[in-house]
Every structure is written in C-alpha cells, then in structure tokens.
C-alpha cells in the first residue's frame, strides 16, 4: 500500500498566547498575520501527519466525493492551510491558584470560543475553529483546528449527517476521535450492501476464582484481606472503609494513620 502523508502544521499554544488581544473579562482574541503564524510553528515537528479517515474526508470536502488516494508514496500539501494541530501541553495541567497560570489558562480557553482564532499560513488570513482530537492527541494535550468554511461540512460528514441530542459527550468525542487514528483505507468492500453488516448480542458472563485487587496502598502488605477471590463484578471498598478497618483491626490512632496515609 502507498504511504500517504499530509502536510499539516503543528502550532504551540504558548507561542500563540503572545498575540492574545483583549482582557480577561471579555475573553481574548487571536488575529495573527503570516509572520506571526510562522513564529508559532513547533520547531521540532515534521509538520506531517499520516493518513486517517478524517483527513481523507477533508480531501473529499475540498475535491469532491470522487477523490481518490494517490497510488504511490506522496506528501499531500492540500490541507496545509485547512487543518492545523495546536499543542496545549504545560498549560491546563498547572495550578490555576497561581495568577500567571490562571491567565495562561484563560487565554487558552479563549481559543475554544465560537469565534476561534485567525491564522495566516500564506494564503491570507482565515478563521480556524477547534475540532477533534484522537486519544493519542488527548494524551499529548493536542487538538485539531479546522478552517471555518470547512468546519460544518466536515463535521456533518463524520457524523453521517445525524443530529445528536442529549448524550454522553465523552463517548461522542471518543468515537469522533477515531477518525484521526491512523489507518489504511480499503475500497471496494461495499459495506452498504444488504447482509454485509452483522449485529451480535452483547453477551455478559461471570468469571469466578479471579484475583481482584480492590485496594492498592502502602499498607497492602500489612492487610492481605484486601486481596480477594471472587467474581469480577464484586464491589470495591472505599478508601474511607479501608481506614476504618485498619483502625479497628490494628487499633491505630486516627492521627497516626493520617500521618502515614
């Protein structure tokens, strides 16, 4: 299979903050020209992304549903001013009790407003809106931003034009994030034909005699009763219950326990 990669720039959210305009009360705005956008690119990044379902669907928005992947190893630059990745590492994992961290987090939050951010990758200033991220990107505190004119048609494509009401957002974001996971496109399987999709029951089973560790703590070697044998559905004990049992069985004073817990 050909190795298809896309030219997509990675930007540093910390660098973008240097161009924040406005105040904390009304939120911050970001309007960067080509020179400023260039300065915000992550120097250590190759600015290349492997093929995935979302990037292919973005190309279909740009080139039409008849778009076909190249048949040889290719670096596609069509999306270099359509999608970008923004790195928010070392921002939201800091203590907001410190004023400088609170201000940085406020600036970062403003990038997620409906107004988005304005960037210029060389073809003129365009507005970009926060979009999706894969599980790997979430762990790295990264998220994709999509050009405003592409945002809605692309969102409708990956949602199969479904309108979602009340739902568990974490699951919705997780499923959408799969579109950014690397993979290989297979054509010609015609999954939409009758009898091509099989739905099976979600069976449940109880497994016995499986060791279940319900509490792990520095006191575990002193309290082996918490290594349990039983069904995997067994309820775990809370840490408060653990402390109560320790004080009862070992006659430890509360203050002594709190000092070592």
- Between 40 and 173, residue with greater pLDDT: 40
- The pLDDT assigned to 226 comes to 44
Chain segment 58-106, per-residue pLDDT in tens: 999 999 999 988 888 999 999 999 999 999 999 998 888 899 899 999 9
Contact 24, 105 (CB under 8 A): no
Residues 6+ apart with CB under 8 A from 136: 181
Q: Work out the mean pLDDT of the chain and round it to a whole number.
A: 81
Confidence of residue 219 (pLDDT cuts 50, 70, 90): low
Confidence of residue 261 (pLDDT cuts 50, 70, 90): very low
Q: How many residues does the chain have?
A: 261
- Between 14 and 202, residue with greater pLDDT: 14
Run of H or E including 229: strand 227-230
- The pLDDT assigned to 255 comes to 42
Residues 6+ apart with CB under 8 A from 55: 6, 8, 49, 79, 83
Chain centre distance of CA 209? 37
What would the two tokens of residue 8 be?
Answer: 């997509």
- The pLDDT assigned to 218 comes to 54
- The pLDDT assigned to 227 comes to 41
pLDDT of 229 over the 60 cut: no
Chain segment 132-177, per-residue pLDDT in tens: 998 889 889 999 999 999 999 999 998 888 888 888 888 888 888 8
Q: By percentage, how much of the chain surpasses pLDDT 70?
A: 80
Mean pLDDT of 39-53: 93
């Amino acid at each position: 299979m050909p190795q298809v990669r896309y030219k997509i720039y990675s930007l540093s959210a910390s660098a973008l903050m240097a161009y924040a305009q406005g105040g904390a009360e009304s939120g911050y705005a970001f309007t960067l020209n080509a020179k400023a956008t260039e300065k915000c690119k992550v120097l250590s990044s190759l600015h290349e992304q492997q093929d995935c379902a979302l990037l292919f669907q973005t190309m279909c928005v740009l080139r039409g549903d008849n778009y076909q992947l190249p048949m040889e190893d290719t670096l596609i630059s069509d999306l270099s001013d359509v999608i970008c990745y923004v790195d928010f590492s070392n921002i939201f994992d800091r203590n907001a009790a410190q004023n400088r961290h609170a201000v940085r987090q406020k600036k970062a939050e403003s990038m997620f407003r409906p107004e988005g951010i304005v960037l210029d990758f060389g073809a003129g200033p365009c507005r970009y809106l926060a979009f999706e991220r894969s599980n790997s990107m979430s762990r790295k505190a990264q998220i994709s931003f999509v050009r405003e004119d592409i945002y809605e048609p692309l969102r409708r494509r990956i949602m199969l034009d479904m309108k979602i009401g009340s739902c568990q957002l974490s699951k919705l974001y997780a499923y959408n994030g799969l579109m950014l996971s690397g993979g290989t496109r297979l054509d010609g399987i015609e999954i939409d034909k009758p009898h091509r999709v099989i739905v099976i029951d979600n069976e449940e089973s109880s497994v016995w005699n499986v060791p279940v560790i319900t509490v792990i703590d520095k006191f575990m070697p002193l309290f082996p009763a918490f290594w349990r044998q039983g069904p995997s559905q067994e309820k775990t004990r809370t840490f408060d219950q653990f402390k109560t049992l320790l004080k009862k069985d070992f006659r430890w004073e509360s203050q002594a326990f709190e000092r070592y817990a």
